[in-house]
């Protein structure tokens, strides 16, 4: 039988029918522990009753109305996110890539309003910002860009976690208007920058009149033990993008802005047909409310520390393990060799994990993971890695 799907993915040989919390079940009814959560999407796990209830209620009332009209849930969600982030305005999109597109357009318009005809945005090596033309150009991975040239103009690239490189760009590039950076790289291998990285970028942006734009699509919504990862550094960006866990599976993205950036867009500058519609924003409101009521931000921090300590104690000194690192429930175990085979081996053991940057085991379990499930996750991942390293010295 022909496959009518475009050849854009290499799916693993399993299909899931339903989930419950951190468990997900395949077509045979076999249960798997989900330590990936749809790549940081399902922070509340699967079929959380509060989200299910909100979606069902809203589906019975109104799925969609155009942004030509005020949308009650959108206003409420914007108020809630701005309060938690200390920001002033929000644009809602359908995805993280679209949220980053909005941020990049905002930066360019900000530059033109300052009289800069060819505005430049600094981005970093090893980053991932999406797969639209502008966001794949911003992404610091040649594999993602290859074959799609010509790329979009207007980007300058610096090594991640390299402040001196940013200072050099600042001294030689008068058309820079913004920097877009991840507080912790996700696809780039859970790379955690130096403690002063974000604070120094904040100072550079203030000094040169740049917008500080943070891609918190993977790090936001409590994942790292704070509502937003930049809050660990005690700074506030001018622009921040969210998606993934914001809807716990319902597609929604957001571009938040503060200060002068909040007033850059005017009617007609940007828009979205589905972005921020009644269904998506109702689901996101339920997500935010549940994270708050169940104290899951604090839970992510404590559980993350517990898992990180467990991995470090068992794997930290093992030959072949380069580093065990993480912040909250965003964890990476870097090996000294490619380890993509571990994804299938984990699947065989009824565990969902991911390998990114070729040699980093990435774990993004739901924030509702139980203590017992955390122990299972720790033991299972350690056994997989130990066996793999013993087989391939």
Mean pLDDT of the chain: 97
Average pLDDT over residues 6-28: 97
Task: Determine phi and psi for 323, rounding to 5 degrees.
Answer: -165, 145
187-228 tens-digit pLDDT? 999 999 999 999 999 999 999 999 999 999 999 999 999 999
DSSP state of 66: -
Give binding residues for pyridoxal 5'-phosphate as ranges: 96-97, 128, 215-218, 273
Residue 157 has a pLDDT of 97
Residue 354 has a pLDDT of 97
pLDDT at 330 over 70: yes
> Which residues are part of the catalytic machinery?
128, 215, 244
**CATH 3.90.1150.10 occupies which residues in the chain?**
16-48+295-390
Q: What 3-state DSSP class applies to 297?
A: helix
Q: Is the dihedral of CA 299, 300, 305, 311 positive or negative?
A: positive
267-284 tens-digit pLDDT? 999 999 999 999 999 999
- The topology under which CATH files domain 50-294 is 3.40.640
**CATH 3.40.640.10 occupies which residues in the chain?**
50-294
Percent of the chain with pLDDT over 70: 99
Give binding residues as ranges: 96-97, 128, 131, 215-218, 272-273
Rg (alpha carbons) of the chain, rounded to whole number = 21
pLDDT at 393 over 70: no
* Pairwise CA distance, residues 362 & 356, whole Å: 6
Percent of the chain with pLDDT over 90: 99
pLDDT at 88 over 80: yes
Residue 392 has a pLDDT of 72
347-371 tens-digit pLDDT? 999 999 999 999 999 999 999 999 9
* Pairwise CA distance, residues 160 & 154, whole Å: 18
* Pairwise CA distance, residues 255 & 84, whole Å: 14
Q: State how far the alpha carbon of 259 is from the alpha carbons of 236, 238, 244, in Å.
A: 10, 6, 25
Residue 381 has a pLDDT of 98
Q: How confident is the model at residue 2 (pLDDT cuts 50, 70, 90)?
A: confident
- Antiparallel, parallel or unpaired: β 23-26 and 321-327: unpaired
118-154 tens-digit pLDDT? 999 999 999 999 999 999 999 999 999 999 999 999 9
Give binding residues for N(2)-acetyl-L-ornithine as ranges: 131, 272
Domain at 16-48+295-390, CATH class: alpha beta
pTM: 0.97
219-268 tens-digit pLDDT? 999 999 999 999 999 999 999 999 999 999 999 999 999 999 999 999 99
* Pairwise CA distance, residues 232 & 326, whole Å: 13
Helices (H) and strands (E) in the chain, counts: 12, 15
């Amino acid at each position: 039988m022909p496959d009518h799907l475009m050849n854009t993915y290499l799916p693993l040989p399993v299909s899931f029918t339903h989930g419950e919390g951190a468990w997900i079940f395949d077509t045979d009814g076999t249960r798997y522990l989900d330590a990936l959560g749809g790549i940081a999407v399902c922070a509340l796990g699967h079929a959380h009753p509060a989200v299910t209830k909100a979606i069902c209620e809203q589906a019975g009332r109104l799925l969609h109305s155009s942004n030509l009209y005020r949308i009650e849930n959108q206003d409420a969600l914007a108020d809630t996110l701005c309060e938690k982030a200390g920001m002033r305005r929000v644009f809602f999109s359908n995805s993280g890539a679209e949220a980053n597109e909005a941020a990049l357009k905002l930066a360019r318009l900000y530059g033109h309003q300052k009289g800069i005809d060819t505005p430049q945005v600094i981005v970093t090596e090893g980053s991932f910002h999406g797969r639209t033309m502008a966001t794949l150009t911003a992404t610091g991975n040649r594999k993602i860009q290859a074959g799609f040239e010509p790329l979009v103009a207007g980007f300058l690239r610096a090594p991640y976690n390299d402040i001196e490189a940013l200072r050099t760009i600042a001294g030689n590039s008068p058309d820079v208007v913004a920097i877009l950076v991840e507080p912790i790289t996700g696809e780039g291998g859970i790379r955690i920058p130096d403690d002063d990285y974000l604070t120094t970028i904040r100072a550079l942006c203030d000094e040169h009149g740049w917008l500080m734009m943070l891609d918190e699509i993977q790090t936001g919504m409590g994942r790292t033990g704070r509502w937003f990862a930049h809050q660990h550094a005690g700074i506030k960006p001018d622009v921040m993008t969210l998606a993934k866990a914001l809807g716990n599976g319902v597609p929604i993205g957001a571009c938040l802005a503060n200060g002068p950036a909040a007033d850059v867009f005017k009617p007609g500058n940007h828009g979205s047909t589905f972005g921020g519609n009644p269904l998506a924003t109702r689901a996101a409101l339920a997500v935010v409310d549940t994270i708050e009521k169940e104290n899951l931000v604090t839970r992510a921090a404590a559980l993350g520390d517990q898992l990180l300590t467990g991995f470090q104690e068992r794997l930290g000194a093992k030959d072949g393990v380069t580093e065990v690192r993480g912040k909250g429930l965003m964890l990476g175990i870097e090996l000294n060799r490619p380890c993509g085979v571990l994804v299938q081996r984990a699947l065989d053991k009824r565990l969902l994990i991911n390998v990114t940057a070729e040699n980093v085991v990435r774990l993004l379990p739901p924030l509702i993971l139980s203590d017992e499930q955390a122990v299972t996750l720790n033991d299972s991942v350690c056994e997989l890695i130990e066996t793999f390293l013993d087989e391939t010295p």
